[in-house]
């Protein structure tokens, strides 16, 4: 049976429950996993071309290098940016798949297959990825015209006159850029949900982004704030349980009458192999707040024999997978929550229920078109 929604802010809080789905978390996990592979390859390549030693990079970052663009030099930045774009591509595509799974679930199909969702995402999900890019391209083109405007202003005498004449239009163009950047931010949130629920192409996706931002800005803002609050609370609880599970496993197996010091040494090496264990320590206050700071108290690297070293690397790799699983839950909540937000706002602004049976939806669209025609006729008579 279809899920009954309130079509108001109450639905946003349900993202925690809808996001806690093995199917959705698994899809998002795959997106993070494949995206991270491409990101790591391109980041390592760009860093080596920037003059860094691969051995030093590997010793510090291992499988997932967390490097800022400011640490990459010259044209190697292009390779680094390509890696980031590929990572974003997989997140958007698999996010669209999660949105599709959730949409079908809301319509009553609890057994919608992952294979079908991924097939849909790779066929239609490019629209969710290209919509934000299209907005950035438009902004860059406008900025390019601004450069031309500035060059003309450098012409003696004529430049000053030209500047005064077009100063006010230039101000409104800058204001339009701010609007486009805000639309870009909205598209990052809603594009996968728009495509996952409607199957729109890039142009129609952008239209829905503009429509939602123009007609329901305050609801959109409030709902997104509520969604991030929900993600923080539910995600923290999920992280707490994962952290406690790791802590209990470490406490039991490191007991002297079990694996003892051997297990501790293997775990120490495994933990030092994580993305950047130093990066995780940046969240020490957050882990302390959750009461799982013990997962950061594991000592550093210890030299082990060949077999134990191999086991520690395998456990380290599993550690990456655990981190990806936690992030996958956050993203699963993000996309299911934005699904609920878009469906709610679409019903409010267009008076069409996306979850209604197709026949009812078509009737609603026809009724709306007839109302528009009648309004146009009334306006024509007034004129």
Higher-confidence residue of 225 and 5: namely 225
As a whole number, the mean pLDDT across the chain is 85
Tens digits of residue pLDDT in 117-132: 999 999 998 999 999 9
User: With bands split at pLDDT 50, 70 and 90, how would you rate the model's confidence at 257?
Assistant: low
Percent of the chain with pLDDT over 90: 49
Task: Let me know: does 47 contact 57? Beta carbons within 8 Å.
Answer: yes
* Average pLDDT for 129-152: 91
* Average pLDDT for 87-103: 95
Q: Which of 147-151, 192-196, 328-332, 372-376 has the lowest mean pLDDT?
A: 372-376
**Is the torsion defined by CA of 99, 104, 110, 116 positive or negative?**
negative
Tens digits of residue pLDDT in 260-306: 666 667 777 777 676 555 556 666 677 777 777 666 655 555 666 67
Q: What is the pLDDT of residue 21?
A: 92
Distance in angstroms (rounded) separating the CA atoms of residues 367 and 374: 11
Q: What is the pLDDT of residue 166?
A: 83
The pTM assigned to this predicted structure is: 0.86
Q: What is the pLDDT of residue 83?
A: 94
For 293, residues 6+ apart whose C-beta sits below 8 A from its C-beta are 284, 287
Burial class (CB in 10 A: 0-12, 13-18, 19+), 348: middle
Percent of the chain with pLDDT over 70: 82
Tens digits of residue pLDDT in 83-94: 999 999 999 999
């Amino acid at each position: 049976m279809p899920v009954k929604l309130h079509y108001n802010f109450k639905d946003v809080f349900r993202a925690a429950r809808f996001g806690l789905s093995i199917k959705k978390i698994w899809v998002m996990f795959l997106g993070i996993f494949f995206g991270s592979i491409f990101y790591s390859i391109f980041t390592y390549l760009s860093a080596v071309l920037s003059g860094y030693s691969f051995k030093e990079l590997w010793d510090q970052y291992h499988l997932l290098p967390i490097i800022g663009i400011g640490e990459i030099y010259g044209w190697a930045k292009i390779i680094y940016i390509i890696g980031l774009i590929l990572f974003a591509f997989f997140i958007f595509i698999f996010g669209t798949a999660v949105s599709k799974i959730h949409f079908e679930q809301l319509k009553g199909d609890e057994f919608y297959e992952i294979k079908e969702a991924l097939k849909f995402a790779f066929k239609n999900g490019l629209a969710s990825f290209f919509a934000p890019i299209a907005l950035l391209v438009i902004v860059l083109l406008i900025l390019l015209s601004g450069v031309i405007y500035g060059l003309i202003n450098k012409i003696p005498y004529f430049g000053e006159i030209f500047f005064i004449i077009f100063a006010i239009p230039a101000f409104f163009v800058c204001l339009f850029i701010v609007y486009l950047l805000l639309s870009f931010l909205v598209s990052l949130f809603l594009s996968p949900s728009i495509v996952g629920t409607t199957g729109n192409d890039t142009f129609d996706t952008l239209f829905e982004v503009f429509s939602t931002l123009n007609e329901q800005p305050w609801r959109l803002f409030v709902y997104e704030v509520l969604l991030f609050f929900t993600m923080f609370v539910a995600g923290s609880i999920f992280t707490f349980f994962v952290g406690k599970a790791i802590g209990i496993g470490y406490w039991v197996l490191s007991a002297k009458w079990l694996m003892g010091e051997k297990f501790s040494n293997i775990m120490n090496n495994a933990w030092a192999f994580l993305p950047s264990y130093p990066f995780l320590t940046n969240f020490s206050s957050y882990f302390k707040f959750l009461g799982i700071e013990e997962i950061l108290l594991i000592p550093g690297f210890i030299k082990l024999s060949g077999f134990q070293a191999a086991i520690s690397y395998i456990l380290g790799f599993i550690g990456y997978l655990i981190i990806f699983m936690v992030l996958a839950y956050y993203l699963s909540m993000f996309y299911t929550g934005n699904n609920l937000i878009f469906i709610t706002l679409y019903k409010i602004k267009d008076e069409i229920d996306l979850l209604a049976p197709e026949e009812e939806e078509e009737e609603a669209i026809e009724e709306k078109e007839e109302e528009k025609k009648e309004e146009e006729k009334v306006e024509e008579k007034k004129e």
